[in-house]
Amino acid sequence: MQKELKLLLTDPPPGESFPLLSADSDLSPSSLSSIDAHIEDPEGTVYAKGIFHIKIQIPERYPFQPPSVTFATPIYHPNIDNGGRICLDILNLLPKGAWQPSLNISTVLTSIGLLLSEPNPDDGLICEVSREYKYNRQAFDQKARSMTEKYAMAGAGGNSSGNQHILTHSNPTMMEIKGPDKESKYEVHDHTVIYKNQCGICRNLSLESSGS
């Protein structure tokens, strides 16, 4: 894990950063159980110019067990619920998921970046948002941009690249979901959960780790 973090600091995935880590940081195992990351989506998407805070929990059995990754910054996305949970198969073990010990944190963050750029409404986590993305794209884009401006841009809601305060999903009216999965969004899990709902099975997105 220490070697992996050093590689992330020297050669992070595009658009990724680790504001609380540096070459001088304490990289002992006890200090690496929780990692904060920033993801900045590229231009041309509804999340452009937003900086999204990601919380990464490293389990004791890593890399044989996948990390638990959640969004700390609110986001309007078919595959991310208002508790920050992410519908991505590499965040879950086989046979339901696609995590393998050959994958790493860089792979996970790269996959999440791709998910921001290319949502998959057919395998969505929130049915109402998925339907809106497919059948009322203008309304989806407007809501996604509005939430990005409110929560993810510098100076918005106390969230900026230089601010160590991590936003939480404490505002229940932030994303009011009235679809059939309204109750399931309040479930609490110890780890990021990949599950089936009325929208279908979570996205099958898996990347083999690169040489680095």
pLDDT class for 202, splitting at 50, 70, 90? Answer: low
Give the mean model confidence (pLDDT) for residues 149-168: 57
In contact, 181 and 198? CB cutoff 8 Å:
yes
51 pairs with which residues across the strands?
A: 40
Strand ranges of the sheet holding 51-57, from the earlier edge strand across to the other edge: 16-17, 34-40, 51-57, 68-71
Q: What is the CATH number of domain 2-186?
A: 3.10.110.10
Q: Which residue carries 């309304």 as its tokens? A: 139
pLDDT class for 208, splitting at 50, 70, 90? Answer: very low
Q: Decide: residue 189, CB within 10 A, 0-12 exposed, 13-18 middle, 19+ buried.
A: exposed
Q: What is the DSSP letter of 200?
A: B
Q: Which residues contact 201 (CB under 8 A, 6 or more apart)?
A: 123
pLDDT, tens only, 106-148? 999 999 999 999 999 998 899 999 999 999 999 999 999 999 9
Whether 127 is a known active-site residue: answer no
pLDDT class for 154, splitting at 50, 70, 90? Answer: confident
Please give, one letter per residue, the 3-state secondary structure of 100-167.
CCCCCHHHHHHHHHHHHHCCCHHHCCCHHHHHHHHHCHHHHHHHHHHHHHHHHCCCECCECCCCCCCC
Q: Which of 87, 127, 199, 202 is catalytic?
A: 87
Among 38, 42, 32, smallest CA distance to 19 is for 38
